Amino acid sequence: ILNVEQSPQSLHVQEGDSTNFTCSFPSSNFYALHWYRWETAKSPEALFVMTLNGDEKKKGRISATLNTKEGYSYLYIKGSQPEDSATYLCALNNAGNMLTFGGGTRLMVKP
Amino acid sequence: DTGVSQDPRHKITKRGQNVTFRCDPISEHNRLYWYRQTLGQGPEFLTYFQNEAQLEKSRLLSDRFSAERPKGSFSTLEIQRTEQGDSAMYLCASSRPGTGVAGYTFGSGTRLTVV
């Protein structure tokens, strides 16, 4: 069983604050790491797929980095907005056919 | 194609009843997955189909659970003799063939409440 852990479990920030959270995973047999954003009452939405050590991806105010040797990925949000409030999930693909998800980080941005 | 659709969105059932959920994947996606998510947890893998073949099942999938994907198109997940512990969000996802880094496209889920 793969152990994918995310921290913190939840986070409250003020509008305009920048924030980041962590996804930790076993570094052996790494294939790809995925980040999803899941807003209440909607489908989880793909943000990034990262495959190479040192990868950095960016989408607007959201960016992510990947360290496959030590087994972690960071997700950063610059200048948080209320519409960024969601649960952020990371998921590991270890060359199998399924994704193993972490428990998620629930972000709440107060206006 | 409107994405992955799941039906119903919500289901409330009495303990001991049987329930069935449906998932319609994106038409060109040959892989279909069922996950279950409970409060405070991430989605947990239940089962996976490639076309009509059910290739993997989690040990979370007790003998009260059965999933089918006739003709490799839509899929159904049935829970027999529901228990309160079955209350969860049941997510369906599909992915395209080929690249191993293909992520999932998720449906909006079916929220099951067993009372």
- Taking the C-alpha atoms of residue A32 and residue A27, their distance in angstroms, rounded to an integer, is 11
Q: Please report the pLDDT score of residue B9 as a whole number.
A: 96
Q: Please report the pLDDT score of residue B40 as a whole number.
A: 85
Please list, in sequence order, all residues whose beta carbon lies within 8 angstroms of the beta carbon of residue A102, skipping any fewer than 6 positions away: A4, A5, A6, A23, A25, A89, A90, A91, B42
Please name which of B43, B37, B38, B60 lies closest in space to residue A99, comparing C-alpha atoms: B43
Q: Please report the pLDDT score of residue A1 as a whole number.
A: 67
**Which of B31, B101, B105 lies nearest to residue A93, judging by beta carbons?**
B101
Output the six-digit token pair for A38.
Answer: 């899941």
- A104 to chain B, minimum CA–CA distance in Å? 6
Give percent of chain A above pLDDT 70: 96
> B56-106, pLDDT tens digit by residue?
888 878 899 999 999 889 999 999 999 999 999 999 999 987 655 778 899
> A17-34, pLDDT tens digit by residue?
999 999 999 988 788 999
Please name which of B62, B63, B60, B67 lies closest in space to residue B20, comparing C-alpha atoms: B67
Interchain proximity B43–A101, CB inside 8 Å: yes
Q: Please report the pLDDT score of residue B59 as a whole number.
A: 85
* Position A61 pLDDT exceeds 80: yes
Output the six-digit token pair for B81.
Answer: 């003799």
